[in-house]
A = this chain, B = another copy of it.
């Protein structure tokens, strides 16, 4: 995003139609990303918990910690927050369960994640990078972009 030239009158400068967005517009972009990051941990955790329950029958703290690549105390603290915020239930020394709210969040998160992953694959990105990139990108994709991704993937599939 290039900028038009400016010139100075005295100390401050006068803009001549540069393309810097207004401060408020730009602030809204960054605020939006910060907001997305607030839900990132929640989304990744409930998706993983749901995967573990489906794949192994239960979600144990030790497995969550190992698969997230963090220590058990760190996972424990986040699970406590998830419980506080109504996404999971858990009792001391017992495995973790999703609430209805948690299940819904897990399902929509997984669906979004898969759409992003399949889109990258359809674009021709190597599986390893598609996995890596989609794990981060999934949290920053608007509904519109998600729909565009989905349409593109479908089109590519039918072309084969």
Taken together, the copies of this chain in the complex come to 2
B56 pairs with A13, CB closer than 8 A? yes
Complex CA gap A8/B126 in Å reads 35
A6 pairs with B56, CB closer than 8 A? yes
Residues of B within 8 A of A141 (CB): 133, 137
Residues of B within 8 A of A56 (CB): 6, 13, 15
B135 pairs with A51, CB closer than 8 A? no
B20 pairs with A55, CB closer than 8 A? yes
Chain A contact residue count (CB 8 A cutoff) = 58
Q: Quick one: which of B1, B36, B37, B131 contacts A117, CB cutoff 8 A?
A: B1
Complex CA gap A21/B105 in Å reads 21
Residues of A within 8 A of B (CB): 1, 3, 6, 8, 13, 15, 18, 20-21, 23, 26-34, 36-37, 44, 51-52, 54-57, 63, 66-70, 110, 114, 117, 120, 123-126, 129-133, 135-137, 139-142, 144-145, 148, 152
Complex CA gap A21/B120 in Å reads 18
Closest to A19 in B: B55
B57 pairs with A13, CB closer than 8 A? yes
Closest to A56 in B: B13
A3 pairs with B137, CB closer than 8 A? no
Residues of B within 8 A of A21 (CB): 131
